[in-house]
Structure 1
Amino acid sequence: MRRLLLAGLVALTVLPVAAQTPIAGPKLDLETIMANPDWMGQAVENPYWSVDGRSLYYRLKRDGSPVRDLYRVDPASGQSSKLDATATAQAEGPAVYDRAHRHAAYLFHGDVFLVDLSSGRRTQVTRSPLPESSPRFSADGRSLQFRESNNWYVYDLASGVTAPAAVLKLTDDPHDKKPDALGQQQLDLFKDLREDKADKDAVHDNEQALAAADPTRAPQPFYLGDKPQLVDTELSPDGRWMLVVTQPAHHDDGKAPDVIHYVTDSGYTENEPSRPYVGRNEPAPQSVLLLDLRAHKSYPLATDKLPGIKDDPLKAIRAKTVAELQKAGKEDEAKALKAPDVRPVTLYSVDSGSAAIAWSDDGSNAALEFLAIDNKDRWIASIDFAHHELVLQHRLHNDAWVNWTYNDVGWLKDNRTLWYLSEESGYSQLYVKPVDGTAKALTSGKFEVSQPQLSSDGRWFYVCTNKLAPYSYDVYRVPSNGGELSRVTQYGGMDQFVLSPDDQRLAVLHSSAYVLPQLAVQSAQGSAPRELTNTMKPAFTAHKWIETKIVEVPSTHGAGVIYAKYYGPADESDAPTSRPAVLFVHGAGYLQDVKLAATYYEHEQLFNNLLVQEGYVVLDMDYRASQGYGSAWRTAIYRQMGHPELEDLLDGKAWLVKHHGVDPKRVGIYGGSYGGFMTEMALLRAPGEFAAGAAQRPPADWETYNDSYTAGILNHPEVDPEAYRISSPITYAKNLRDPLLINHGLIDDNVLASDSIRLYQRFVELHKKNFWISLYPLERHEFEHADAWYDEYRRINELFETWVKP
């Protein structure tokens, strides 16, 4: 696409944001746009193919209820129906297939079902109070494997017998217990005790022999000792091996602060524990055991030979902090910062919550994805089963932090070629690597690759990329042995896709600015799609919503351009030469809001429309740290959260002043979560730049946020206190001079309300003026009640009307 930056000036690209042409509707008001979002319509959720591939299922939220109803649609006719309770009982879940395509299996209401594809006969395999998961067929197709928590079971298709794949006990083997000196003395003294022990040993040895010779018996247990705690287990498709992930059983997770509920069913104040603060205790280190289920032996898979695992990436930072502690006479704290001889690791956790472990289809290979607890390295290793040790396949190092996403891994159908995503080029790309060969990039360029799906015949990878433009996402495909990356869908706002069982069609969820995700089907080779749903409400589509314009804002700090969405009147030919503006700041830090797809911020998008109606223009920027622009853009905030992003926001303000007649003295700013944090940083680090700011649920002190998010960006506070100091709004409280409104849910268990209350107290002690806090007793981080949404945005609107618009 033609670049927008020409001769130092930024032009506007007008992009369609809705599938239909809106008509003029009634004037917007807060009551309407902050009402329960059911009035807009419902997003189509979780599409999947039926077992025979002839139908699609999906779910829709029920109006006025959190219940999700199940629907079935015929892709050929487009006919869709909501399934009642009786029909739902006969429905299917997302299916897996054996290699010969004789059987399928799926989960439904937490139970496992088996289907004979030739006859269509359905067999319920489990009916249990605990949910099963991860159904798959064994490598030879003779059994069906599934798990219940960390316990794996094998269902034999011929006999219908279900048995545990392994029995794991977190105790010491009672038969391996050796007598101490006193016990040995007793055995030496008393013949009857020796005979009793010999009888017990004989019974045990006989049981062992019978179990080894008799496959109809349940397997003998593996005794893992009382020191580890089970984290995950993964069974090989051939049933020969099991990988067991453990962590110390008595690891101290640190003290968790309480969330206090003031408005309760009981009428009494109630306390709820939340999560520990960052650095109060590091995540528990994890270890992996390889169990040979055939030989009934176990082997630890040591990670201490992974390259770089004995390095200290924080050496310089650690030395500086130690020197400062020693200078302050804090010798004990300085000694506690000694780097470990071997860096502890965890296994990546995938969406299901299980570890990032991938078995090849035949069980001959496994890939394990390890992450250093300091977040600087990711290793992918296979297993040498003959020597029971890890073999490095890939190392990804990042001086800042390895990404939370783009960590998919798996195997090609040859069972010996690994595939994985890696940011090693600066952008997430797809690679293949034979276990004994050299890695090859299947994709390359300055765009992101995600959601890789290998076709069942193994010939193609289907992926999501923003190759065309950073804000435009579609399905592409590339041959698994290398070749051209070709575009399959043409939406620009593709959200999710599912390949059909025969590899011939794609079910695609797609959306646009004012259209929630809708379902379509098309050829997997690329063709005109058939739209299957339209769940938007007429009352919503009747409004003439603003066609947001995606623009490129030039950076004055060497960052190139910053993509943004501009909200303004349709006709700016007679726009005033001086008008107010508002910057909306998206949340999460690592999130992308400048896209052709539907925004996560539905209420805020409508509020931006209302602001334009009231005479403002609005800019929504993908500041540095946002997703979709490569690793360097993401990690620009390392050890300095709130600094590069503020530079970008100020560039956005300057762009509005230069190109849209905005009065630099009449610019407001607002956002939630990370956007609330940036609102506070903007007012406190750049006083006078913004006329007023509204911060929703903002982190005011990163030392009180969680470990999984914060430690990657700022390291741990005991090692890198300076990063926390310069990155926390509370540090700059003395600089407040512009009106600030803080809104926070009192039962927020993500960003605790204490963050805002502590900052408020600092303002009180500093004798500041024009700051307010609104607390919402029944709201968590994500507000759920329309009354709270309305009240929150009424206050924001009044703030801007009072301090920005005049």
Structure 2
Amino acid sequence: MRFSSALSLLATGLLPVLAGAQTPASPSALAPLTVDKIMRDPAQWLGGLPSAPYWSEDGKRIYFQWNPDRARRDSLYETTPAGAAPRKISLAEQRQLPSPRGEYDEARTRKVYEKDGDIYLLDLKSGRTRRVTNTAERETEPAFALQEKLISYSRAGNLFTWDPATGETTQRTDFRRGQAPAGPSSDKSEKYLREQQLALFQVIRERQQDRLARERQQKALARLRPKAIYLGTQTVENLQLSPDGRYVTYSLVQSPAADKVAIVPAFVTASGFTEDLNTRNKVGAPQTAYELGIYDIARDTTFKLGYQELKGLDEQPAYRKDYPLKAKAPVPAADAKPAKDKPATELRRVIPYGPFWNRSGERAFLVIRSTDNKDRWIVSLDPTTQKISLLDRQRDEAWINGPGIGYEAGNVGWLPDGRRIWFQSEETGYSHLYTVDVTSGQKKALTSGNFEVQQARLSKDKKTWFLTANKTHPGEQHFYRMPVEGGALTQLTSRPGAHEVTVSPDEKTLLVRYSYANKPWELFVLDNKPGAKYRQLTHSTTKEFESYPWRDPEVVTFKAQDGASVYARLYRPQQPDPTRPAVIFVHGAGYLQNAHKWWSQYFREYMFHNLLVDRGYTVLDVDYRGSAGYGRDWRTGIYRYMGGKDLQDQVDGAKMLVEKYGVDPQRIGIYGGSYGGFITLMAMFTQPEVFRAGGALRSVTDWAHYNHGYTDNILNEPYNDSIAYARSSPINYAAGLKGALLMCHGMVDTNVHFQDIVRLTQRLIELKKENWELAVYPVEDHGFVEPSSWTDEYKRILKLFETNLRGQSAAPGGSSSTGR
């Protein structure tokens, strides 16, 4: 066993090959790749790529973040659709620019937005900006209200409106923490004493009369002010005024009473003292509860919306059948009121999103999600009666998610008729666009097929859909238009790769952030029509970066053990090393895709793979089960068993490398970070005959110690589904380690805590394992920042593979001659 630190690098240099191996020629003698080169600050050697582009409100200018000067951070630049030379915007100019975010009125003649905690109103015709607020407190959530006559916003947990015509500001709610003041006691003895005092003493009677008169006067004045609503220990979010001004809706938020969080200590600090970072709780901990409140201004009363009539609210998840002996005491939801003739039922808790009002304010709908994330309901809302009616229910025994669906309300809205709602659903197994009529309940699919609609929005005139979809290939993203009632998709982009598109204000031009597999992101414009010519606006990459012929990896498919087609990126050397080594890279998760045809967010790993191929390695990058881009079944293929099908996809990829590309089955390594680190640990512990060496970076080692939001969806809670956690956590399989294992982890990782790798380290020590190494990075969080850390980490990874896959130690049987 060896324990090392980033503070003391084991090998500052690395010979190109070990004894007995030959060095394949580099594809470019002018620009040989080294770890030191590719792990430098990207802005310094790759180039500062453009990001976050947007149009000016008049469509005459394009703004974007860029870094052609190779500074420490990006700056705001502007150019024109005609391609004028980009110009850096000074800080003084930036202060005068409106925020790119905000809300438009229906006619798109005005825009309201927040900037630096204040609210502004922009007249799009004149370009004149009016400042709505100028306070020390922060104002948020600006919107047009009361048939667009007023501007609404939130401040300190209350709703305000501002009248552009008069400049008058009105407070619409009066939410207060704590309990309402108590009235006179109803105790009989106290009541008797009060009455006796009034009967005996004239001064008491006169003072009470004065007090009652003052209260009547105050009550008359209070009619001009909003009702005081006492919240107890709750807080409020998402304050909205209905279009007719009658209702204020709001989310009531109840945080857990005792929310214990993990502490991450930072050892290397400016103060010289260890500083503790409060991070997050762990999966299964008590979670925040949400309710929808309705303040009926006309009736001067408040309501909390009930959900007990929701179809399927009492439906328990199928995995519970694996625990037939586990007692389940009924746990009614907070708003549940079982009928007298029915026994109490275990109702799942929910989170409401909305309401979403149509323009006239006559109709509203909510998106409601169960907290176990297995149901998503879309319901119409009648605020007068506090009644909801089901419009659509999406049920998934795994968990609800997917493009345009996400974990909250998702991509939803009203069609211009004010009668139909549009939304996205994975009903067919792929995320597609639907409408539902709130009066008839009739549902219609606007798109269909074995592809995903990844983004959708309506044109200004509400007659056309603008869509981003992977219709041509799972690894390509193109921009389309489609009639509002559905029909043929017209493809507007043509190059292979990915297109992030922003339509100009007049909708005649497309601003595109485009990339290909070996071509980093740049900005282009093209006319909003099929087959339009791409006009490039930026050139970001450096001459040094361009001096190397970066590979265009093949996007291939292979058959998994269960017959599924798995997509992967394949990097093949022109001159394979005689030992025929291979490395499989495992991308991270959350919901991510990497076997695609655009510039990867794993650009350092992409460059490292080019370095490996230069040295004769074959490299495979698998979009395993759980990856994005392939529909619902692929997305949920890891449900209740992480390290099951997703790991088997890596094993089947290794088999394909051996059978089809002649890789030596005794010389296959694996590495990855975060979820990729987790898979690497599972591979090294459970598939030791397949993988000789593994680099596990910032790895989850025990899912019971990860966060709730991600883990609960896939494995449920550890105390309810212990089977899923037991079979999914690498720490339970550590005894199976045979090959060489490198583990790297940042010590201030607030995502996957350093505690994770420390616990596994102790387990390896107790198991008397010797063939592992841990490198720690004292100043790094989950995503490394410092080039020195990246360099150290990847020199170790390269040494791991060179020693164990190409060196003399790579002998059959899963052990190494160096005794590791």
Q: TM exceeds 0.5?
A: yes
Q: Look up the match of 1:590.
A: 591
Shift of 1:176: 6.2
Q: Look up the match of 1:17.
A: none
Q: Deviations over 1:402-436 (max 9, x none)?
A: 11653211112222211111111111111111212
Partners of 1:225 and 1:200 lie apart in 2 by: 27
- 8 Å contact kept, 2:83–2:536: no
- AA aligned opposite 2:165: A
Shift of 1:55: 1.9
Q: Look up the match of 2:121.
A: 114
Distance 1:553 1:318, change over 3 A: closer
Shift of 1:368: 2.0
Q: Deviations over 1:333-362 (max 9, x none)?
A: x567978734343437xxxxxx55433233
1:300 aligns with 2:298: no
Q: Look up the match of 1:440.
A: 444
Partners of 2:685 and 2:204 lie apart in 1 by: 78
Q: Look up the match of 2:265.
A: 260
Shift of 1:69: 1.9
Q: Which protein has the larger Cα radius of gyration, Structure 1 or Structure 2?
A: 2
Shift of 1:50: 1.6
Partners of 1:188 and 1:777 lie apart in 2 by: 73
- 8 Å contact kept, 1:62–1:69: no
Q: Look up the match of 1:3.
A: none
- AA aligned opposite 1:84: S
Partners of 1:303 and 1:711 lie apart in 2 by: 23
Shift of 1:200: 4.4
Q: Look up the match of 1:767.
A: 768
Partners of 1:461 and 1:181 lie apart in 2 by: 69
1:550 aligns with 2:560: no
Partners of 1:268 and 1:743 lie apart in 2 by: 24
Residues 336-735 of structure 1 mapped to structure 2, 5 A cutoff: 341-347=345-351, 355=353, 357-403=355-401, 405-407=403-405, 408-437=411-440, 438-526=442-530, 527-559=532-564, 561-569=565-573, 572=574, 575=576, 578-588=579-589, 590-735=591-736
- Describe the SS at the equivalent of 1:469: coil
1:797 aligns with 2:801: no
Distance 1:613 1:367, change over 3 A: same
- Describe the SS at the equivalent of 1:664: coil
Distance 1:663 1:315, change over 3 A: closer
- Describe the SS at the equivalent of 1:470: coil
Q: Which moved more, 1:94-103 or 1:617-626?
A: 94-103
Distance 1:318 1:55, change over 3 A: same
Q: Look up the match of 2:339.
A: none
Q: Deviations over 1:478-498 (max 9, x none)?
A: 222222222122244335322
- 8 Å contact kept, 2:251–2:290: yes
Distance 1:139 1:339, change over 3 A: closer
Distance 1:551 1:428, change over 3 A: same
Query: What's the TM-score, normalizing by structure 1?
Result: 0.89
Q: Look up the match of 1:326.
A: none
1:40 aligns with one of 40, 46, 51: 46
Partners of 2:105 and 2:196 lie apart in 1 by: 62
Distance 1:128 1:434, change over 3 A: same
Distance 1:27 1:317, change over 3 A: same
Q: Look up the match of 2:230.
A: 224
Q: Deviations over 1:289-321 (max 9, x none)?
A: 112234432221111111100121146346336
Partners of 2:241 and 2:756 lie apart in 1 by: 44
- Describe the SS at the equivalent of 2:651: helix
Q: Deviations over 1:125-179 (max 9, x none)?
A: 2233444433332353322223346433322111122233322223344386765
Aligned residues: 757
Partners of 1:91 and 1:248 lie apart in 2 by: 38
- AA aligned opposite 1:239: G
- 8 Å contact kept, 1:550–1:564: yes
Q: Deviations over 1:97-148 (max 9, x none)?
A: 3234443333333432222334332222223344443333235332222334
Query: What's the TM-score, normalizing by structure 2?
Result: 0.87
Q: Deviations over 1:501-555 (max 9, x none)?
A: 3333332222222443322233334433332222222222222111111111122
Distance 1:731 1:299, change over 3 A: same
Distance 1:411 1:301, change over 3 A: same
Partners of 2:256 and 2:235 lie apart in 1 by: 8
Shift of 1:40: 1.1
Partners of 1:480 and 1:182 lie apart in 2 by: 71
Partners of 1:597 and 1:202 lie apart in 2 by: 75
Distance 1:225 1:186, change over 3 A: farther
Q: Look up the match of 1:134.
A: 141
- 8 Å contact kept, 2:669–2:693: yes
- 8 Å contact kept, 1:34–1:789: yes
- AA aligned opposite 1:169: R
- AA aligned opposite 1:518: E
- AA aligned opposite 1:189: Q
- 8 Å contact kept, 1:381–1:394: yes
Shift of 1:197: 5.4
Distance 1:530 1:110, change over 3 A: farther
1:144 aligns with 2:151: yes
- 8 Å contact kept, 2:175–2:231: no
Partners of 2:498 and 2:192 lie apart in 1 by: 75
Q: Look up the match of 2:786.
A: 785
- Describe the SS at the equivalent of 1:424: coil
Q: Which runs of 5+ in 2 are unaligned?
A: 1-26, 334-344, 406-410, 808-820
Q: Look up the match of 1:184.
A: 191
Q: Which runs of 5+ in 1 are unaligned?
A: 1-21, 323-333, 349-354
Shift of 1:741: 0.6
Partners of 2:158 and 2:760 lie apart in 1 by: 47
Q: Look up the match of 1:11.
A: none
Q: Look up the match of 1:28.
A: 33
Distance 1:714 1:321, change over 3 A: farther
Residues 79-228 of structure 1 mapped to structure 2, 5 A cutoff: 79-94=85-100, 95-138=102-145, 140-148=147-155, 150-174=157-181, 179-181=186-188, 183-191=190-198, 196=207, 199-212=210-223, 219-228=225-234
Partners of 1:379 and 1:139 lie apart in 2 by: 28
Shift of 1:685: 1.1
Q: Look up the match of 1:51.
A: 57
Partners of 1:524 and 1:391 lie apart in 2 by: 40
- 8 Å contact kept, 2:62–2:79: yes
Shift of 1:739: 0.8
Partners of 1:196 and 1:101 lie apart in 2 by: 59
- AA aligned opposite 1:410: G
Partners of 2:511 and 2:695 lie apart in 1 by: 41
Shift of 1:246: 1.4
Distance 1:200 1:619, change over 3 A: farther
Partners of 2:328 and 2:594 lie apart in 1 by: 44
Q: Look up the match of 1:12.
A: none
- Describe the SS at the equivalent of 1:798: helix
- AA aligned opposite 1:111: D
Q: Which moved more, 1:749-758 or 1:476-485?
A: 476-485
Shift of 1:262: 1.4
- 8 Å contact kept, 2:414–2:421: yes
Distance 1:53 1:579, change over 3 A: same
Note the aligned Cα RMSD (angstroms): 2.5
- Describe the SS at the equivalent of 2:485: coil
Q: Look up the match of 1:758.
A: 759
Partners of 1:65 and 1:211 lie apart in 2 by: 57
- 8 Å contact kept, 1:473–1:491: no
Distance 1:686 1:312, change over 3 A: same
Q: Look up the match of 1:233.
A: 239
- Describe the SS at the equivalent of 2:302: strand
